[in-house]
Chains A and B, each alone.
Chain A
Amino acid sequence: MKTYTNPVYGYRRAPELDGTIRHCGVVIVGAGPVGLAAAIDLAQRGIPVLVLDDDDTVSVGSRAICYAKRTLEILDRLGCGEPVAAKGVSWNVGKVFHGDELAYQFDLLPEPGHHRPAFVNLQQYYFEEYLVRRADALAAAEIRWKHRVVDVAVIDTENGTEGDTEDNAAVSLRVATQDGDYALTCDWLIVCDGARSPVRHMLGLDSEGQVFRDRFLIADIHMTTDFPTERWFWFDPPFHRNQSVLLHRQADNVWRVDFQLGWDADPEHEKKPENILPRLRAMLGADAQFDIEWASVYTFQCRRMQKFRHGRVLFAGDAAHLVSPFGARGANSGVQDTDNLVWKLDLVMRGLAPDSLLDTYDEERVAAADENILHSTRATDFITPKSAVSRTFRDAVLALARRHPFARRLVNSGRLSVPAVLTGSRLNTPDSDAFAGKMVPGAPVADAPATGPHGDWLLQHLGGGFDLLVFGDGVPGDAARDLAGDPVPCRVVQVGGKPGGARVVIQDNEGLIAARYDARPGTCYLVRPDQHVCARWRAFDSAVVRGAIARATGNREGDPQWAH
């Protein structure tokens, strides 16, 4: 590749090769985007975490290139949003062509007044590199490169036998290195080792779903051009008849071209530069100047594991669920998995929430995965119709879309990733007061301009722990202090009003926070550590807030863990 050289991270000999078996709180398998996000989140909370990866570099090839606003917001909380946003290419407009005519156009440009754009495109290697840099800066995170997990078992710590009796269970690992194998044990194992997930196979667990009988060629090309920074998708273009093509810009003047090839294509043949070049020449013109950076032929599946939690083993990202690339729902949903998981694991490890809180990771993220799989499957059915009648309807939609607006809504080249709204979660406290707008219990909190001690945006003042976002100064100082001193602390973030004790005060100069949260003086929102709303009220009541925090942490009143 011309524009990027993969870093080589140093292998280090494991001290365990020379001594005793180490017992860890958390081990993460896989230092991809998802494993790294989990490691950073845990380490930021002061939980020592060991990451094992079988390679010694970041992604080879660009792979996942579209990162959604929600991912950037999560990375901001993890201290590495800025480099991704700065290096990434932001875009809002998508165009869909049928033949050589524009069939449909969408604009993801959100309302103004958000810190992060709808999407940035960035090669996965940069994304991973920035996360590795962040993890390396955290004392509690240790990444071991070229350490491959070769065996995993759940053991009973009381008698040392295999079995998954929950209370005394631990996970034992065998790790292979160039200097030999060593053993480790841990309380919790987070599995982020990708679509093929060797660890999932070692544990004999399945991931079930649908294989799509189609093949696609990805070619990353380096070229300087005046093409606009937009997502262009063609059905049946003149330069690649009867198939689809996607063109998308990445950083460093690298462009992703994705050619649908059909199921019968020979991957080895199609991957050769001499066979890729004519396709690119037909598309870009005989005189276009470009270099091929990287190429790959892929096929895809939409599937998930039945459960993402198996006792002390937690699956996240592609290891747990897999979607087609149309819609950018792979890496983006994997990062949301860790955002959902880590605060819960933190509370459980510190004895502040019952083990059952981790079951809600499974419930909430399985629901999100199903939503992603549904959208991804529908897009794939539109791009790769599975029957003659399906193809006829698809072509009819595209033909009608040229003239008739209704049909444009049916054109589906991928419905782009949006964050999960956890409306059905048992961690939410149902509304008892009337509210309008989108900030329902379960929704990720909307950003808005704010002036405060942590920056110019609302989201910079929320997250990590529980926050009570209150409008006006209706929370007395002693109540704010008491909430901040609880076993599961809750920080008061006050919008406007008179400054008081034990709180962060921010100003809503543009009035957008109040507008987006349908706020009146006294309105309170309880925000989870992963920046999702879990309760809201029109007036502050400290007992009610505590009840909602108890519910959101799996602790009900009367529960022994809550009786501190």
Chain B
Amino acid sequence: MGTLNTEPNLVAPDDFYDELIGLHRGLTEGESALVNAKLILLLANHVGDPDVLRAAMAAAREDVAPAR
């Protein structure tokens, strides 16, 4: 059972961010949302570990809106 690593782990953070934003260049908001969803699913499959994925989902949800 793994734990979510939130320590710096990206080899070149600025390069990654640049590519991530570049990935969306020229897309509509709807297309961007689709690309993001596919990206999350691809990375989730790569991670595999349900505990890690659950921890990432919780961290992402944090502070966004109260649970309804």
Contact = CB atoms under 8 A, between A and B. Distances in A.
B3 interface: no
Interface stretch (A219-227, A409-417, A422-430, A525-533): A409-417
B24 A387 contact: yes
A405 B6 contact: yes
B59 A404 contact: yes
A390 B21 contact: yes
Nearest to A412: B14
A412 B6 CA distance: 18
Given A400-B59, A403-B59, A378 B14 contact: yes
A387 B32 CA distance: 10
B29 A388 contact: yes
A409 B18 contact: no
B20 interface: yes
Contacts of B8: 405-406, 408-409
B14 A406 contact: no
A381 interface: yes
A409 B33 CA distance: 24
Q: Which of B21, B25, B29, B33 has the most CB of A within 10 A?
A: B21
A377 B68 CA distance: 40
Given A388-B29, A400-B59, A406 B10 contact: yes
Contacts of B7: 405-406
Interface residues of B, number: 24
Q: Which of B14, B25, B27, B32 has the most CB of A within 10 A?
A: B14
Contact of A381 (B5, B21, B29, B62): B21
A543 interface: no
A9 interface: no
Contacts of B33: 389
Given A388-B29, A389-B32, A412 B17 contact: yes
A interface: dominant SS: helix
B10 A409 contact: yes
Contacts of A399: 63-64
Given A378-B18, A387-B24, A393-B21, A410 B13 contact: yes
Contacts of B32: 387-389
A397 B21 CA distance: 12
Nearest to A402: B63
A410 B11 CA distance: 12
Contact of B24 (A378, A382, A389): A389
A270 B6 CA distance: 42
Given A389-B27, A400-B59, A406 B6 contact: yes
A403 B6 CA distance: 9
Contacts of A378: 14, 17-18
Contacts of A400: 6, 59
Contacts of B63: 399
A389 B29 contact: yes
A409 B13 contact: yes
A105 to B, nearest CB: 14
Contacts of A404: 6, 59
Nearest to B32: A389
A389 B9 CA distance: 23
Interface in B1-44: 5-10, 13-14, 16-18, 20-21, 24-25, 27, 29, 32-33, 36
B24 A406 contact: no
A415 B24 contact: no
B6 to A, nearest CB: 4
Contact of A403 (B10, B16, B18, B62): B62
Contacts of A390: 21, 24
Contacts of B64: 399
Nearest to A390: B21
A406 B64 CA distance: 19
A399 B60 CA distance: 9
B27 A406 contact: no
A129 to B, nearest CB: 36
A409 B9 CA distance: 10
A409 B15 CA distance: 11
A412 B18 CA distance: 11
Nearest to B59: A404
B8 to A, nearest CB: 5
A404 B16 CA distance: 17
Interface of B: 5-10, 13-14, 16-18, 20-21, 24-25, 27, 29, 32-33, 36, 59, 62-64
22 contacts: A375-B14, A378-B17, A378-B18, A381-B18, A381-B21, A388-B29, A389-B27, A389-B32, A389-B36, A393-B20, A397-B17, A400-B6, A400-B59, A404-B6, A404-B59, A405-B8, A408-B8, A409-B8, A410-B13, A410-B14, A410-B16, A412-B14
Nearest first, the 8 closest Cβ-Cβ pairs linking A and B are A404-B6, A389-B32, A409-B13, A389-B24, A406-B8, A409-B8, A390-B21, A406-B6
